[in-house]
Amino acid sequence: MSQRPLDILNKALGSSVLVGLKGGREFRGKLSGFDVHVNIVLEEAEELQGGEATKRYGTMVIRGDSVVFISPAG
């Protein structure tokens, strides 16, 4: 049986993820929550440019309509 996208996100709770947004911005942090609209909460969030952390935010909420991808951050 295949997994649904929200099931995969549920398994990623507490893990480090990379989130790409419309406009090319990327954030990395620990996924601490999400809802059915893919609004997500990141802990220890930091903005990345060229793969390097440029700014630290702590806890942040990202609106689901701006998310392009969510990927494990190794």
Domain carrying residue 62: 5-72
Instruction: Look up residue 41 and give its amino acid.
Output: V
| Residue 59 Cα distances to 3, 13, 25, angstroms | 28, 14, 17
pLDDT in tens, 8-66: 899 999 999 999 999 999 999 999 999 999 999 999 999 999 989 999 999 999 999 99
Adjacency order of strands within the sheet including 52-62: 52-62, 40-49, 26-34, 16-21, 67-72
CATH at 47: 2.30.30.100
